[in-house]
Amino acid sequence: MQYKQTRQGYVDALIELARENPLVVVLDADVAKATRTCDFEKVFPERFFNCGVQEENMMSVAAGLALEGFIPFATTFGVFASCRAADQVRNSIAYPKLNVKIAATHCGISTGGDGASHQANEDIAIMRSFPNMTVLVPGDYEEARQATRAAAAYSGPVYLRLGRDTYPVVEQIHGPFEIGKAKQLAEGRDITIITTGIMVSEGLAAARLLGGEGISAELIHMPTLKPLDEEAIVDSARRTGAVVTAEEHSIIGGLGEAVAACLAERCPVPLRRVGVRDVFGESGMAQELLTLYGLRASHIAAAARELLKGRSNALGRTA
């Protein structure tokens, strides 16, 4: 399996976009090497602005550039974009619906060695809650490249969630990218697995594991968390009757709760959320943390088995 960085997909797309559109500019907060925007700076030094360690100022400056017609990509780590600069994102950018793209790298537990302070596990919850905000969570290098291009083509604020580590390249998600559209990767009868971001590869592996046990799993990948593709969720849940969500984010406020809310209103079915439980992370290698915090195919498959067992018990009682 090939592994690549989602953050590199973002920056490669930025360079393409800047060649096509003189209005594309990049803002950085002293993390250009870590976010890979240093590659952009090499090609377009006059369109790259290092704001220093000033995430709050950077977000409001980005709003100012958007007010003057530019398409700023404000780039920093997820914890800084979503927590440190939350007020600026909310009031300077989201409220007036300005055309600012917020690119956040180092999201999720796979940020690794830096530990809990730098592992953004709450960023989706924060960004989803702001009106006017679009939230994109691509699953691999190529999808990150596509999502970046889609964000630039869309007029309005976008939060683009990226990681630090290298992640499996997943050919199945390389079709056309459309904001707000889920991608069905496998059809199934017994259960629906819904993934977002880098959990797509674990979802595929879980579906294979379950298939080997005679359980037919449908797999839906959601690179857009807002607006949520409710039709895809409801349509699949109606057919399978059970849903497992998987995200590299807290189970509070992310994919799991978004899907749960949608299903509770439109198609109540049993549901399990795979994600970081309500805890802070810790330092470690990305791959060992994904295992330690329960974000593997085996955890998704276990949640699915548990759900199906519950369902057969319930059926047994009513029979």
Residue 153 binds other proteins, judged by CB under 8 A: no
Percent helix, strand and coil across the chain, each to the nearest 5 = 50, 20, 30
Residues 6+ apart with CB under 8 A from 153: none
- In the complex, the smallest distance separating the C-beta of residue 48 from other proteins, rounded to whole angstroms, is 12
Residues 14-33 that bind other proteins (CB under 8 A): 25
Number of residues that bind other proteins (CB under 8 A): 27
Which CB sits closer to other proteins, 20 or 68?
Answer: 68
- In the complex, the smallest distance separating the C-beta of residue 102 from other proteins, rounded to whole angstroms, is 14
The one-letter code for the residue type at 238 is R
Residue 92 binds other proteins, judged by CB under 8 A: yes
**Distance between CA atoms of residues 117 and 289, nearest Å:** 15
Give yes or no for a contact between 225 and 124, defined as CB atoms under 8 angstroms apart: yes
Of the candidate residues 21, 33, 43, 96, the single one contacting other proteins (CB under 8 A)? 96
Strand 243-250, strand 271-276: pairing: parallel
Which CB sits closer to other proteins, 39 or 56?
Answer: 56
Give yes or no for a contact between 273 and 300, defined as CB atoms under 8 angstroms apart: no
Residue 45 binds other proteins, judged by CB under 8 A: no
CB-side neighbour CA atoms (13 Å) of 122: 14
Residue 257 bears catalytic tag: no
Angle, helices 297-318 vs 200-212, to 10°: value is 50
Residue 44 binds other proteins, judged by CB under 8 A: no
Of the candidate residues 95, 115, 154, 284, the single one contacting other proteins (CB under 8 A)? 95
Residue 8 binds other proteins, judged by CB under 8 A: no
Alpha helix ranges (H) inside 31-177: 32-35, 37-43, 55-67, 78-79, 86-87, 123-128, 141-153
Active-site residue, selected from the candidate residues 41, 55, 122, 142: 55
Residue 76 binds other proteins, judged by CB under 8 A: no
Give yes or no for a contact between 34 and 41, defined as CB atoms under 8 angstroms apart: no
Residues 6+ apart with CB under 8 A from 108: 78, 119, 120, 121, 163, 197, 198, 248, 249
Which CB sits closer to other proteins, 97 or 174?
Answer: 97
Of the candidate residues 1, 20, 45, 69, the single one contacting other proteins (CB under 8 A)? 69
- In the complex, the smallest distance separating the C-beta of residue 253 from other proteins, rounded to whole angstroms, is 22
Of the candidate residues 19, 21, 42, 67, the single one contacting other proteins (CB under 8 A)? 67
- In the complex, the smallest distance separating the C-beta of residue 244 from other proteins, rounded to whole angstroms, is 39
Site residues, other proteins (CB under 8 A): 25, 47, 49, 51-52, 54, 56-57, 59-65, 67-70, 72, 87-88, 91-92, 95-97
| Active site residue ranges | 55
